[in-house]
Amino acid sequence: MKKIFLNWKQNGDFTKIANFKNNVNKQDGVVLFVPHPYLTFASSIKYDTGSQNVSAFLNGAFTGEVGASMLKNCKVKYCLVGHSERRKFFNETNQELSSKIKILKSNSIIPVLCIGETLLERKNGTFLNKLKKQMEIYESGVLVAYEPVWSIGTGLVPTHDEIAEISKFLNINYSIQVLYGGSVSSKNAKSILSIKNISGLLIGGASLKYEEVNKILDENSRN
Ligand code: PGA
Protein backbone atom coordinates (compact mmCIF):
# COMPACT_ATOMS: atom_id res chain seq x y z
CA MET A 1 0.00 0.00 0.00
CA LYS A 2 1.34 3.46 -0.86
CA LYS A 3 1.69 6.07 1.86
CA ILE A 4 -1.19 8.46 2.44
CA PHE A 5 0.01 11.42 4.52
CA LEU A 6 -2.74 13.72 5.76
CA ASN A 7 -1.55 17.26 6.48
CA TRP A 8 -4.23 19.05 8.48
CA LYS A 9 -2.10 22.21 8.71
CA GLN A 10 -3.45 24.60 11.38
CA ASN A 11 -6.86 22.92 11.48
CA GLY A 12 -8.75 20.41 13.59
CA ASP A 13 -9.47 19.65 17.22
CA PHE A 14 -10.08 16.64 19.50
CA THR A 15 -13.63 16.14 18.23
CA LYS A 16 -12.59 16.19 14.60
CA ILE A 17 -9.85 13.64 15.21
CA ALA A 18 -12.24 11.34 17.10
CA ASN A 19 -14.84 11.68 14.33
CA PHE A 20 -12.16 10.95 11.79
CA LYS A 21 -11.36 7.71 13.56
CA ASN A 22 -15.04 6.73 13.46
CA ASN A 23 -15.64 7.64 9.83
CA VAL A 24 -12.44 6.92 7.94
CA ASN A 25 -11.55 3.40 6.81
CA LYS A 26 -8.46 1.81 8.29
CA GLN A 27 -5.49 1.33 5.98
CA ASP A 28 -1.75 0.74 6.48
CA GLY A 29 0.39 3.70 5.51
CA VAL A 30 -1.99 6.42 6.67
CA VAL A 31 -0.28 9.07 8.79
CA LEU A 32 -2.03 12.00 10.48
CA PHE A 33 -0.07 15.25 10.56
CA VAL A 34 -2.13 17.13 13.14
CA PRO A 35 -1.08 20.24 15.08
CA HIS A 36 1.24 19.58 18.04
CA PRO A 37 -1.41 19.74 20.82
CA TYR A 38 -3.26 16.79 19.23
CA LEU A 39 -0.39 14.44 18.44
CA THR A 40 -0.61 12.45 21.67
CA PHE A 41 -4.36 12.05 21.36
CA ALA A 42 -4.11 10.93 17.74
CA SER A 43 -1.51 8.29 18.60
CA SER A 44 -3.53 7.19 21.65
CA ILE A 45 -6.37 6.23 19.29
CA LYS A 46 -3.87 4.22 17.22
CA TYR A 47 -2.94 6.60 14.43
CA ASP A 48 0.58 6.82 13.13
CA THR A 49 1.39 10.47 13.50
CA GLY A 50 3.58 13.08 11.89
CA SER A 51 4.55 16.55 13.00
CA GLN A 52 4.30 19.52 10.64
CA ASN A 53 7.47 21.11 12.00
CA VAL A 54 10.28 20.76 14.53
CA SER A 55 12.73 23.09 16.22
CA ALA A 56 16.18 23.35 14.65
CA PHE A 57 17.60 23.27 18.21
CA LEU A 58 18.01 20.33 20.59
CA ASN A 59 16.38 21.98 23.63
CA GLY A 60 16.82 25.00 25.86
CA ALA A 61 15.79 28.65 25.89
CA PHE A 62 13.82 28.76 22.61
CA THR A 63 10.36 29.94 23.69
CA GLY A 64 7.55 28.50 21.64
CA GLU A 65 9.59 25.81 19.91
CA VAL A 66 8.90 22.06 19.99
CA GLY A 67 11.94 19.78 19.95
CA ALA A 68 12.48 16.43 18.22
CA SER A 69 12.93 14.58 21.54
CA MET A 70 9.52 15.90 22.61
CA LEU A 71 7.96 14.64 19.38
CA LYS A 72 9.61 11.27 19.95
CA ASN A 73 8.11 11.29 23.46
CA CYS A 74 4.69 11.79 21.82
CA LYS A 75 5.33 8.73 19.58
CA VAL A 76 5.64 10.80 16.41
CA LYS A 77 7.04 8.77 13.49
CA TYR A 78 7.48 11.38 10.74
CA CYS A 79 8.04 15.13 10.52
CA LEU A 80 7.63 17.49 7.58
CA VAL A 81 10.72 19.58 6.87
CA GLY A 82 10.54 22.70 4.74
CA HIS A 83 6.88 22.65 3.73
CA SER A 84 6.44 25.50 1.25
CA GLU A 85 4.22 27.41 3.69
CA ARG A 86 7.04 27.35 6.22
CA ARG A 87 9.62 28.36 3.65
CA LYS A 88 7.34 31.24 2.59
CA PHE A 89 5.94 32.54 5.90
CA PHE A 90 8.83 31.64 8.22
CA ASN A 91 11.74 32.10 5.81
CA GLU A 92 13.20 28.66 6.42
CA THR A 93 16.62 28.21 4.85
CA ASN A 94 18.47 25.09 3.69
CA GLN A 95 20.91 25.47 6.60
CA GLU A 96 18.12 25.49 9.18
CA LEU A 97 16.30 22.64 7.44
CA SER A 98 19.47 20.58 7.39
CA SER A 99 19.77 20.95 11.19
CA LYS A 100 16.15 19.83 11.54
CA ILE A 101 16.84 16.73 9.45
CA LYS A 102 19.84 15.77 11.58
CA ILE A 103 18.03 16.31 14.89
CA LEU A 104 15.01 14.31 13.69
CA LYS A 105 17.17 11.42 12.53
CA SER A 106 19.04 11.33 15.83
CA ASN A 107 15.63 10.98 17.50
CA SER A 108 14.53 8.18 15.15
CA ILE A 109 11.87 10.33 13.47
CA ILE A 110 11.74 10.11 9.67
CA PRO A 111 12.11 13.56 8.06
CA VAL A 112 9.86 14.29 5.07
CA LEU A 113 11.69 16.92 3.03
CA CYS A 114 9.23 18.99 1.00
CA ILE A 115 10.49 20.43 -2.27
CA GLY A 116 8.80 22.23 -5.14
CA GLU A 117 9.06 25.06 -7.63
CA THR A 118 7.02 28.24 -7.97
CA LEU A 119 4.86 28.96 -10.99
CA LEU A 120 7.48 31.36 -12.34
CA GLU A 121 10.18 28.69 -12.07
CA ARG A 122 7.92 26.20 -13.80
CA LYS A 123 7.21 28.66 -16.61
CA ASN A 124 10.76 29.87 -17.18
CA GLY A 125 12.15 26.34 -17.12
CA THR A 126 14.37 26.66 -14.04
CA PHE A 127 12.36 24.18 -11.99
CA LEU A 128 14.87 21.33 -12.07
CA ASN A 129 17.60 23.67 -10.83
CA LYS A 130 15.34 24.78 -8.00
CA LEU A 131 14.68 21.18 -7.00
CA LYS A 132 18.42 20.41 -7.14
CA LYS A 133 19.10 23.31 -4.77
CA GLN A 134 16.45 22.14 -2.35
CA MET A 135 17.85 18.60 -2.58
CA GLU A 136 21.34 19.76 -1.54
CA ILE A 137 20.40 18.89 2.04
CA TYR A 138 19.03 15.46 1.16
CA GLU A 139 20.62 12.57 2.98
CA SER A 140 19.78 8.90 3.34
CA GLY A 141 16.92 8.10 5.67
CA VAL A 142 14.92 11.11 4.45
CA LEU A 143 11.63 10.84 2.57
CA VAL A 144 11.01 13.43 -0.13
CA ALA A 145 7.67 14.99 -1.06
CA TYR A 146 7.42 16.82 -4.38
CA GLU A 147 4.90 19.62 -3.87
CA PRO A 148 4.87 22.31 -6.57
CA VAL A 149 4.13 25.61 -4.78
CA TRP A 150 1.71 26.64 -7.53
CA SER A 151 -0.35 23.53 -6.95
CA ILE A 152 -0.74 23.71 -3.17
CA GLY A 153 -4.28 24.70 -2.24
CA THR A 154 -5.01 26.04 -5.74
CA GLY A 155 -6.79 23.17 -7.48
CA LEU A 156 -4.11 23.30 -10.19
CA VAL A 157 -2.42 19.94 -10.64
CA PRO A 158 0.57 19.16 -12.87
CA THR A 159 -0.15 16.73 -15.68
CA HIS A 160 0.60 13.04 -15.33
CA ASP A 161 3.69 13.56 -17.56
CA GLU A 162 4.91 16.55 -15.55
CA ILE A 163 4.79 14.57 -12.30
CA ALA A 164 6.36 11.56 -14.02
CA GLU A 165 9.21 13.77 -15.27
CA ILE A 166 10.00 14.92 -11.72
CA SER A 167 9.71 11.48 -10.12
CA LYS A 168 12.03 10.09 -12.82
CA PHE A 169 14.49 12.96 -12.33
CA LEU A 170 14.60 12.34 -8.57
CA ASN A 171 14.85 8.60 -9.01
CA ILE A 172 17.77 8.86 -11.44
CA ASN A 173 19.70 11.47 -9.47
CA TYR A 174 19.04 10.39 -5.88
CA SER A 175 17.77 6.79 -6.20
CA ILE A 176 14.57 7.58 -4.38
CA GLN A 177 10.83 7.32 -4.73
CA VAL A 178 8.78 10.38 -3.81
CA LEU A 179 5.46 11.40 -2.40
CA TYR A 180 3.39 13.84 -4.44
CA GLY A 181 1.47 16.71 -2.86
CA GLY A 182 -0.56 19.61 -4.26
CA SER A 183 -4.34 19.71 -4.76
CA VAL A 184 -4.69 15.95 -4.45
CA SER A 185 -8.35 14.91 -4.42
CA SER A 186 -10.47 11.83 -5.03
CA LYS A 187 -10.63 12.92 -8.68
CA ASN A 188 -6.90 12.80 -9.42
CA ALA A 189 -5.58 10.34 -6.79
CA LYS A 190 -5.91 7.28 -9.00
CA SER A 191 -3.90 8.77 -11.83
CA ILE A 192 -1.16 10.16 -9.56
CA LEU A 193 -0.84 6.92 -7.58
CA SER A 194 -0.24 5.05 -10.85
CA ILE A 195 2.86 7.10 -11.73
CA LYS A 196 6.19 5.25 -11.57
CA ASN A 197 8.33 6.08 -8.53
CA ILE A 198 5.48 7.83 -6.72
CA SER A 199 5.41 6.21 -3.29
CA GLY A 200 2.40 8.02 -1.90
CA LEU A 201 0.46 11.23 -1.45
CA LEU A 202 0.74 14.24 0.87
CA ILE A 203 -2.75 15.69 1.09
CA GLY A 204 -3.78 19.04 2.55
CA GLY A 205 -7.29 20.41 1.94
CA ALA A 206 -8.92 17.12 0.96
CA SER A 207 -7.53 15.42 4.08
CA LEU A 208 -10.03 17.32 6.22
CA LYS A 209 -13.03 15.67 4.52
CA TYR A 210 -13.84 12.07 5.49
CA GLU A 211 -15.60 11.22 2.23
CA GLU A 212 -12.66 12.42 0.20
CA VAL A 213 -10.15 10.53 2.32
CA ASN A 214 -12.19 7.31 2.06
CA LYS A 215 -12.38 7.63 -1.72
CA ILE A 216 -8.62 8.22 -1.95
CA LEU A 217 -7.96 5.21 0.31
CA ASP A 218 -10.17 3.11 -1.98
CA GLU A 219 -8.13 4.19 -5.00
CA ASN A 220 -4.96 3.31 -3.11
CA SER A 221 -6.18 -0.16 -2.28
CA ARG A 222 -7.15 -0.74 -5.93
CA ASN A 223 -3.87 0.64 -7.30
P1 PGA B 1 -3.29 20.80 -0.68
O2 PGA B 1 -2.02 20.92 0.28
O3 PGA B 1 -3.59 19.32 -0.82
O4 PGA B 1 -4.38 21.55 0.01
O5 PGA B 1 -2.90 21.40 -1.98
C6 PGA B 1 -0.95 20.02 0.19
C7 PGA B 1 0.09 20.38 1.20
O8 PGA B 1 0.24 21.56 1.51
O9 PGA B 1 0.81 19.50 1.70
| Number of other CB atoms surrounding residue 202 within 10 Å | 28
d(CA 202, ligand 1 centre) in Å: 7
Rounded-to-integer distance, Cα 33 and Cα 160, Å = 26
Residue 189 CA to residue 160 CA, distance in Å, equals: 11
- Neighbouring CB atoms inside 10 A of 48's CB total 17
Cα of 60 from ligand 1 centre, angstroms? 32
Handedness of CA 25, 15, 187, 156 (dihedral sign): negative
Whether residue 223 is predicted with pLDDT greater than 90 in this model: the reply is: no
Q: Report the C-alpha gap between 81 and 97 in whole angstroms.
A: 6
Residue 160 annotated in active site = no
Please tell me the distance between residue 203's alpha carbon and the centre of ligand 1 in angstroms.
Answer: 5
Q: Which residues lie closer than 8 Å to 196 by C-beta, 6 or more apart?
A: 164, 167, 168, 171
**Average pLDDT for residues 64-69, to the nearest whole number?**
98
The answer to whether residue 92 is catalytic is: no
Ordered alpha helix ranges (H), 84-209: 84-89, 94-106, 119-123, 127-134, 160-174, 189-193
CA-nearest residue for atom 2, ligand 1, is 204
pLDDT single digits (tens) 118-134: 999 999 999 999 999 99
Atom of ligand 1 nearest to the CA of 114: 9
Q: Is 50 in the pocket of ligand 1 (CB under 6 A)?
A: no
Catalytic residue among 85, 92, 117, 147: 147
Q: What is the mean pLDDT of residues 138-148?
A: 98
Q: Please compute the mean of the pLDDT values over residues 84-97 and round it to a whole number.
A: 97
Q: Is 208 touching ligand 1 by the criterion CB < 6 Å? A: no
Give the pLDDT confidence of 16-46 residue by residue, as tens digits: 999 999 999 999 999 999 999 999 999 999 9
Q: Which atom of ligand 1 is nearest the CA belonging to 182?
A: 5
